[in-house]
Amino acid sequence: MTAEAEPEGLEASQTRSAGPAPLPGPAAPHAREDWERRIGVRSDPAVQPRAVEPRLPPPAGLTARDGRGAVTLSWSAVAGASGYLVHRAASAAGPWSPLDHGGGDVLAVPATVYTDTLAEPGREAWYAVASVTTIEAPGGDVSGGLAAVPRDQGDARVWVAVDAAASGTPLHRPWRPIIGSEHLSMLCRGTNEQNFDVGAELGEALRLAHEELGVVAVRAHGALLDELRVYREVDGQPVHDFSRLDAVYDRLLELGLRPIVELSFMPRDLASDQTRTVFDYRAIISPPRDWDRWGALVGGLARHLVERYGIDEVAGWGFEVWNEPNLVVFWTGSQADYFQLYDVSARAIKAVDQRLRVGGPSTAAAGWIDGLLAHCDRSGAPIDFLSTHTYGSPPLDLRPITAAQGRPDLPIWWTEWGVSPTHFAIVNDGVFGAPLVVAGMKAAAERGEALAYWVASDHFEELGTPPRLFHGGFGLLSVGNLRKPRWWALAMLERLGDDVIPCELRGDGAGGLVDAWATRGSDGRVAIAVWNGTLDQSKAAGSPLLERDVTLNVDGLESGLAYELRHHRLDARHSNILAVWESLGAPDWPDDATWRTLRDANRLELLEPPRTVVPDGGFVELAFALPMPSVSLVDLVPVAGTTPPT
């Protein structure tokens, strides 16, 4: 690596409009064509972004480490930065472009370590990094450039050192507060054309999310969809009827879960334009034609829920105003129209009871964040949580934005997040997404209250019903509730201990390609997640060059106390139901015998049989190969009846 040319003419684009190529999908032509035409179009391009900070200085201390098949960059954090935009060029003279890892959404990354696996082995690449405030604000100045040359051969090892005796901090589990689902009226649905009981299977999927992943609430589109008939007009007068929504929420509460009430979409009789719709089920996306009647509907809904379920219960829910109003495909109005929708909704909810929680802007790609906060300061509208969405990368740090607006403690809810924003994307079914899920949750644990995976189940009808068992669906669970690799990634994290303990990494790709999360339980168990993954979706099928040999050193164990070692693994050959399905001929819909085979194989697998280890002076060393992509969960469980020497 060499340094010191100053990059010029850098582009500061932070988002992209399309992800990796999807599989063929089942939607009716009008729904899919409309979706693909409008999904990348902003709803109010004339809005001038309001940067919450002046242009930030570039990061200092940029380093570039050559690796096998990759280059790992690191730099110093910049106060006030929400993230960092990595640029690359073929030479010190440019031209420079932001690295696009194909995630289909925000290009900036939140951490100060990034591994580039797009670079061609054996060819020199130059790197520079800029600090960013918000997605809509101009990019900051860039750092000086550094060159690196990824290798195409040689050993590649990472050392992971864990101190099991050190003081820990409580583990925050951002996957627990919320999970996403398709419109919850499907809970009351019957059998579909493939003979699946949709309501029963979706209910089972949500029950599993609650029991196996610790999830406590569900966010879904469509609390006001016309199929629920919450609003209609008779002889020109509004009629509210929440009985069908009651059935939906009753079922959700029976499952042990609470709703996050997404106030969408517009009831037909209240819409200013009934012809503007989205999705196969034609949800109406226009503003209301009568703001007073919208406010009365929202207030009436909040009042009804409090009367039916009690304020102590409903105060633990949340009311989210609309869905992604910064995209034309979801909102035909302007930003000012959305702010009016937010004000009217928030005030109507708070008029019922101040303890009810309301938030927004529920935007795509972290848009309009500082805009809504600034608007609430001007209008006096209440806001109890900040919500937004992102895909394909760990979420950015929004704390600098809320702090700059005088709200440093405002809860941050990422109410949609996933591996890809693209329907029928192949990365949704295979192992590639698993380490990305783990990395995203670790990043979010330090930067927000909730990171809601979108969605729990492949019973999902935005662009039509599922065409086959594995079709690139957003669900963590397939139709039939087979657990996909992304599900197992979250299940591994749920098995971590109570406290985070120190964990240091060094070596080829350490902290970027390969990372770890070490924990300790109150029972003395030490659980460590170690993963190998890249954001680069061109490597969805894996890459032998990116495999790493890992040496895991755990110190500070009870010397002389026996531990049972359990090593669970998620990779191409372990805990991968997609590979099992493919080995059975990849039938669109399995017959009964194939279903039995799939369900028998659908488990979190061990890399090796459990064995007993006895620390030598409190120290244990383990060595194993870690493919890309893969996730390991290493458990050291004290053996009952053994005691350390006195």
Q: What is the pLDDT of residue 7?
A: 33
Residue 26 pLDDT grade (very low, low, confident, very high; cuts 50, 70, 90)? very low
Residue 644 has pLDDT above 70, yes or no: no
> In terms of pTM, does the model score above 0.85?
yes
Cα–Cα distances (Å) from 587 to 194, 485, 581, 641, in that order, read 13, 19, 8, 50
Q: Which residues contact 68 (CB under 8 A, 6 or more apart)?
A: 121, 150, 151, 152, 153, 154, 155, 156, 508, 545, 546
Is the confidence at residue 151, as pLDDT, over 90?
yes
Inter-residue contact 179 to 213 (CB < 8 Å): yes
- 248-272 pLDDT, tens digit each: 999 999 999 999 999 999 999 999 9
Cβ-contact 216, 491 below 8 angstroms: no
DSSP code string of 515-530: EEEEEE-TTS-EEEEE
* Reported CATH class of domain 29-148: mainly beta
Over the range 77-103, which residues count as b (16 or more CB within 10 Å of their CB) and which as e? ebebbbbbbbbbbeebebebebbbbbb
What's the pLDDT score for residue 557? Answer: 96
Q: Which CATH superfamily is domain 179-494 in?
A: Glycosidases (3.20.20.80)
pLDDT at 25: 45
Which pair of tokens denotes residue 155?
Answer: 């050993």
Structure confidence by residue, pLDDT tens digits, 309-360? 999 999 999 999 999 999 999 999 999 999 999 999 999 999 999 999 999 9
Give mean pLDDT, residues 586-613: 97
Please tell me which residue, 371 or 54, carries the higher pLDDT value.
371
- Can you give the pLDDT at residue 11? 37
pLDDT at residue 51 is higher than 50 = no
Is the pLDDT score of 389 beyond 70?
A: yes
Question: What pLDDT, on a 0 to 100 scale, did the predictor assign at position 469?
Answer: 97
The chain-wide mean pLDDT, for the chain, equals: 92
pLDDT tier at 559, thresholds 50, 70, 90: confident
At residue 237, does pLDDT exceed 80? yes
120: number of Cβ within 10 Å: 12
The model's confidence at residue 495, banded by pLDDT at 50, 70 and 90, is very high
- The pLDDT, as a whole number, for residue 9 is 34
- Tell me the per-residue pLDDT of 454-482, one tens digit each, with 9 for 90 and over: 999 999 999 989 999 999 999 999 999 99
With a pLDDT cut of 90, the percent of the chain lying above it is: 84
How far apart (Å, rounded) are the C-alpha atoms in residues 485 and 427? Answer: 10
- The answer to whether the CB of 390 falls within 8 A of the CB of 417 is yes
Position 137 pLDDT exceeds 70: no
**Would you say residue 367 has pLDDT above 70?**
yes
- pLDDT of res. 95: 85
Same fold: 29-148 with 179-494: no
Domain ranges of the chain: 29-148, 157-170+497-638, 179-494
pLDDT at 183 over 50: yes
Report pLDDT digits (tens) over 260-306: 999 999 999 999 999 999 999 999 999 999 999 999 999 999 999 99
- Are the C-beta atoms of 167 and 502 separated by less than 8 Å? no
Residue 6 reports pLDDT greater than 50: no
Average pLDDT over residues 556-579: 96
Mean pLDDT of 551-567: 95
pLDDT at 28: 52
Average pLDDT for residues 418-433, to the nearest whole number? 94
pLDDT of res. 148: 95
- Reported as a pLDDT band with limits 50, 70 and 90, residue 643 is low
One of 3.30.2010.10, 2.60.40.1500, 1.10.260.40, 3.40.190.10 is the CATH number of 157-170+497-638, namely: 2.60.40.1500
The pLDDT, as a whole number, for residue 192 is 84
When pLDDT is cut at 50, 70 and 90, the band that residue 34 belongs to is confident
Residue 23 clears pLDDT 80, i.e. is over it: no
Contacts of 373 (CB under 8 A, 6+ apart): 383, 386, 401, 402, 405, 407, 410
Give the separation between CA 646 and CA 633, rounded to whole angstroms: 31
Query: pLDDT category, 76, cuts 50, 70, 90?
Result: very high
Beta bridge partners, 83, equal 132
pLDDT-derived band at 43 (thresholds 50, 70, 90) equals confident
Coil vs helix vs strand at 244: helix
